[in-house]
Amino acid sequence: MNIHEYQAKQIFAQYGVPTPRGIVANTPEEAVKAAHELGGNIWVVKAQIHAGGRGLGGGVKLAKSIEEVEQLAGEILGMTLVTHQTGPEGKLVQKVYIEEGADIKDELYLGVVLDRAKEMPVIMASTEGGMEIEKVAEESPEKIVKVAVDPAIGFQPFHGRELVFGLGITDKNEQKKFMQFASKLYNVYMDKDAEMIEINPLIKTGAGDFLALDGKMGFDDSALYRHPEIEEMRDISEEDPDEREAAQYGLSYIALDGEIGCMVNGAGLAMGTMDTINYMGGTPANFLDVGGKANAETVAKGFEIILKNPNVKAIFVNIFGGIVRCDRIANGILEATKMVDVHVPVIVRLDGTNAEEAAEILANANIPNVIPATDLADGAKKAVEAAKGAK
Amino acid sequence: MSILVNKDTKVIVQGFTGSEGTFHAEQCLAYGTDIVGGVTPNKGGQEHLGKPVFNTVQEAVDATGATVSMVFVPPAFVADAVMEAAEAGIELAVIITEGAPVKDMQMAKAHAVKHGMKTIGPNCPGIITADECKIGIMPGNIFKKGNVGLISKSGTLTYEGANQVVKEGYGITTAVGIGGDPIIGLSYKQLLPMFEADPETEAIVMIGEIGGDLEIQAAKLIKEQITKPVVAFIAGQTAPKGKRMGHAGAIVSGSAGTAKEKMDALEAAGVKVVVSPADIGKAVKEVLSK
């Protein structure tokens, strides 16, 4: 789960990670009020969406008067912001963050993520703030300092020294401030079960202070049960409604741009099914894992969600029945076709325990739309043919 | 022969009396697994499925001599259960539970390593040595005995792969579902050499997926140490970047962890890489009839 910049900064503030002062606003009027409250004579109006690259997309603007704050907030609120991370459809801006202007001397990068190979969090820092870290990693990896922190000992001064010397920070006072900054950020990461934190840019002010000018946080979904305060920050409008609906029924769904709907048990086999369709010359319309308990209700829900996509020309149901026997799944699928109006060909491949009985059930049911398949290759081939025939 | 578990392996179940634990322990017993008891706090002294229940893992180990634990406790208690097993002298914990927080697994795995306990999973189907010992949730009847070792991040792809191998007239020595979480226990790197050393295993199937770099590490190791033929499939060639494909660890972040880079690395290491999982069986036949 991800949160907005303003929410990440609220969390930072709780842990003493310094940020510029700011106030979130839903309307231009609120933006004006926020600017008055913050005081000063320069403000930044920032679109709040869950995607990077907002500045380049026109979602972050500098205002030099209250009137300008109002005007810019009016422009940004309600705009559909397109960045390299939103996809071409963009994202609707519903909130802006009004922030006091900052005296930027240097722009740095600081992030914390899980290093899967080391199996511990790694702090990444770079002098190339403001740039996409992926790009820096590709073009000049030597400019990224990586320091893994063993949770058993936590953030120690030597971790901090590795960071500041790696970044070339020489002023002792600045070294101390940066080390404290990183240490606090590590605490945020651990305490909140974050999956990633990214501050890009982290700025050094003219006075030699470090401030989080941006803030991005993602959380481990499996740990949200112990963080109701994070769960409360969830912005449903940032999530795909179909993915969300599927999740409520225990289905894992991701829309793609092809023509063959897929319904599969197990994430690996679901990806493998997409790959096989592609290999056979077709295009998968979605990823859908119905989980371990494929029954009439979950399959019916799956059909419903898949068929919301108007591009779907055929559906490939690929189930490997293990402990759940195939004959029971076959009956479930037949029942599901009665619950939902399935107007495209449905290719059904059931393999595993009691596969032969299942094949018989499907054959005897004699539903014109339901085409049985003998194995994965056969099913994928038939699905690709059905989709082509439907054109 | 086989790897890690066989007919003599004594197994306890943590979370023995819960609904999942009960159902699957019953299936494992029916398969022939030597489940010698289970652990459920405050139910010590009772009997469940005809086996003794203990309050702590230490009591269970002392009374039964169990060396392996099958973990079915709910996600929030997984780390606790695994660390308890490690301190009680369990040699291998097979963690079936899905949805354990990553931070918990970091801590639990580090503790397991410190105490010399191996782990498999979490969020995995478990391990099975055909006709001898099933510790997990896989359908045992698919795994006919044979000469192919199998390592997989995905549950149903494990079944798919094993089924194809059997249909081609071969069979399985041991199959290990390692799970697709960001932090897992035994992985290709540890399991490949075990299969290399197992005299009964003549070929190895490895099934991977997008995310992380375990398959890349495996490719390096295969090049240096593995002489037996390896067949590999990497799921997620058509997965979009930045999207989590069901498994917590199955995500391409930026340009890292793509199926293509893994397939290329494995191919370069001499592995027979198939583009579709539908070809696993055929590829095994090909490498074994050479």
Q: What percent of chain B has pLDDT over 70?
A: 100
Closest approach of chain A CAs to the CA of B75, in angstroms?
A: 8
Can you read off the two tokens belonging to residue A85? 């991370």
CA-based nearest distance B45→chain A, Å: 30
- Out of B120, B153, B174, a domain closes at B120
**Among the ranges given (A53-57, A84-88, A232-236, B208-212), the one the predictor scored with the smallest mean pLDDT:** A84-88
Mutation target for B interface from A50, A84, A85, A116: give the one with most B CBs within 10 A: A116
- Residues B147 and B254 reside in one and the same domain: yes
Q: What is the pLDDT of residue A330?
A: 86
- DSSP letter at B253 equals B
Residue B262 covered by a domain: yes
- Do B247 and A267 make contact, defined as CB atoms within 8 angstroms? yes
pLDDT in tens, B157-168: 999 999 999 999
**Structure-block tokens of residue A372:** 């049985």
Domain that holds residue B279: 138-288
Of A6, A109, A186, A189, the catalytic one is A109
Does the pLDDT at position A293 exceed 80? no
Question: Of A151, A265, A267, which is closest to B106 when you measure between CB atoms?
Answer: A151
**Residue A198: what pLDDT?**
95
Q: Which residues of B are catalytic?
A: 247
- Domain membership of residue B4 (yes or no) is no
Mean pLDDT of B78-100: 97
Residues 6 or more apart in contact with residue B210 via CB below 8 angstroms: A271, B234, B235, B236, B239, B245, B250, B251, B252, B257, B258, B259, B262
CB-based contacts of A270: which residues, under 8 Å, 6+ apart?
Answer: A252, A262, A264, A287, A288, A289, B245, B246
Confidence of residue B60 (pLDDT cuts 50, 70, 90): very high
Q: Which residues of chain A are within 8 Å of residue B152 when distances are taken between CB atoms?
A: 268
Tell me whether residues A287 and B246 touch, CB distance under 8 A: yes
How far apart CA A116 and CA B182 sit, in angstroms, is 6
A151: nearest CB among B107, B163, B236: B107
What residues of chain A lie within 8 A of the CB of B27, using their CB?
323
Q: In what order do the strands lie in the sheet with B133-136?
A: B133-136, B126-129, B172-177, B145-152, B203-209, B230-235, B272-274
CATH code of residue B264? 3.40.50.261
ipTM of this complex prediction, to 2 decimal places: 0.93
**Closest Cβ opposite residue B276 in set A116, A223, A279:** A279
The SS3 assignment for A102 reads coil
**Is the pLDDT confidence value at B148 over 90?**
yes
B143 and B116 in one domain? no
Exactly one of A198, A253, A259, A304 is catalytic; which is it?
A198
Q: Do A272 and B75 touch (CB under 8 A)?
A: no
B143 lies in some domain = yes
Residues B153-181 have a mean pLDDT of 95
Report pLDDT digits (tens) over A153-208: 999 999 999 999 999 999 999 999 999 999 999 999 999 999 999 999 999 999 99
Residues B87 and B178 both lie in one domain: no
**Among B27, B128, B160, which would you mutate to test the A interface (most chain A Cβ atoms within 10 Å of its Cβ)?**
B160
pLDDT at B1 over 80: no
Q: Is the pLDDT of residue A124 over 80?
A: yes
β-pair type (A370-373, A346-352): parallel
Of the two residues B85 and A247, the one the predictor is more confident about is: B85
Closest Cα in chain B, distance from residue A118 (Å):
10
Closest CA in chain B for residue A134: B254
Contact A275 B276 (CB under 8 A): yes
pLDDT tens digits for B207-236?
999 999 999 999 999 999 999 999 999 999
| Amino acid, single-letter form, for residue A98 | I
* B281, B143: one domain: yes
CATH code assigned at B71: 3.40.50.720
pLDDT beyond 90 at B243: no
Q: What is the DSSP string of A145-206?
A: EEEE--TTT-S-HHHHHHHHHHHT---HHHHHHHHHHHHHHHHHHHHTTEEEEEEEEEEEET
CB count within 10 Å of CB A42 equals: 16
Helix (H) or strand (E) holding A208: none
**What does the pLDDT average to over A259-273?**
95
Domain end, chosen from B120, B155, B171, is at B120
The verdict on a CB contact (< 8 Å) between A114 and B137 is no
Longest dimension (CA), chain B: 57
**Segment A42-46 mean pLDDT:** 96
**Closest CA–CA distance from residue A81 to any residue of chain B (Å):** 19
Residue A325 pLDDT greater than 90, yes or no = no
Residue type, A44: V
Kindly identify which residue of chain A lies nearest to residue B259, measuring between CA atoms. Answer: A275
Q: Where residue A137 falls among pLDDT bands split at 50, 70, 90?
A: confident
Q: What is the DSSP string of A141-161?
A: GGGEEEEE--TTT-S-HHHHH
DSSP state of A224: G
For position A96, what pLDDT does the model report? Answer: 97
Q: Are residues B282 and B172 in the same domain?
A: yes
B279 lies in the same domain as B159: yes
Q: Domain boundary at B89, B120, B151, which?
A: B120
Q: What is the mean pLDDT of residues B15-21?
A: 94
The answer on pLDDT for A391 being more than 70 is: no
What are the tens digits of pLDDT across the range B276-290?
A: 999 999 999 999 998
Check A375 against B238: CB less than 8 A apart: no
In a domain? residue B128: no
Query: What is the pTM for the complete model shown?
Result: 0.93
Residue B3 lies in a domain: no
Q: Are residues B110 and B170 in the same domain?
A: no
Contact status, residue B71 vs residue B15, Cβ threshold 8 Å: yes
Is residue B5, in this structure, part of any structural domain at all? Answer: no
B274 and B209 housed in the same domain: yes
Q: Could you tell me if B208 and B108 lie in one domain?
A: no
Structural domains in chain A, CATH included, are: 1-19+103-238 (3.30.470.20), 21-101 (3.30.1490.20), 241-389 (3.40.50.261)
Q: Which residues in A lie closer than 8 A to residue B154 (C-beta atoms)?
A: 266-269, 271-272
Among B87, B84, B91, smallest CA distance to B5 is for B91
Residue B272 lies in a domain: yes
> What one-character-per-residue DSSP string does B38-105 give?
EE-TT-TT-EETTEEEESSHHHHHHHH---EEEE---GGGHHHHHHHHHHTT-SEEEE--S---HHHH
Share of chain A above pLDDT 90, in %: 72
Segment B98-117, tens digit of pLDDT: 999 999 999 999 999 999 99
Domain assignment of residue B277, yes or no: yes
Same domain for B104 and B242, yes or no, is no
Q: Which chain B residues are closer than 8 Å to A242 by Cβ?
A: none
Mean pLDDT (whole number) for B130-154: 95
Nearest Cα to Cα of residue A249 among A284, A324, A300: A300
Joined together, the tokens standing for residue B168 give: 């081609």
From the candidates B78, B83, B103, which should be mutated to test the interface with A, based on the most A CB atoms within 10 A?
A: B103
- What torsion, rounded to 10 degrees, do the Cα atoms B24, B26, B32, B33 define? 50
Judge whether A189 counts as a catalytic residue. no
Mutation pick from A271, A274, A324, A350 vs chain B, by most beta carbons of B within 10 Å, is: A271
Distance, in Å, from the CA atom of B133 to the CA atom of B123, rounded to the nearest integer, reads 19
Q: Are B80 and B143 contained in the same domain?
A: no
Nearest to A320 among B107, B160, B276 (CB): B160
Which residues of chain B make contact with A255, given a CB cutoff of 8 A?
Answer: none
Total domain count, chain B: 2
Residue B87's Cβ-count burial label (10 Å; 0-12, 13-18, 19+) is middle
Quote the pLDDT of residue A339.
85
Tokens 């080391």, located at residue: A118
Q: Which residues of B touch A277 (CB under 8 A)?
A: 238
- Confidence label for B256 from pLDDT (cuts 50, 70 and 90): confident
The reported pLDDT for the residue numbered A346 is 93
pLDDT-based confidence at residue A390 (cuts at 50, 70, 90): low
Residues B282 and B149 reside in one and the same domain: yes
Answer for the pair A90, A80: CB distance below 8 angstroms, yes or no.
yes
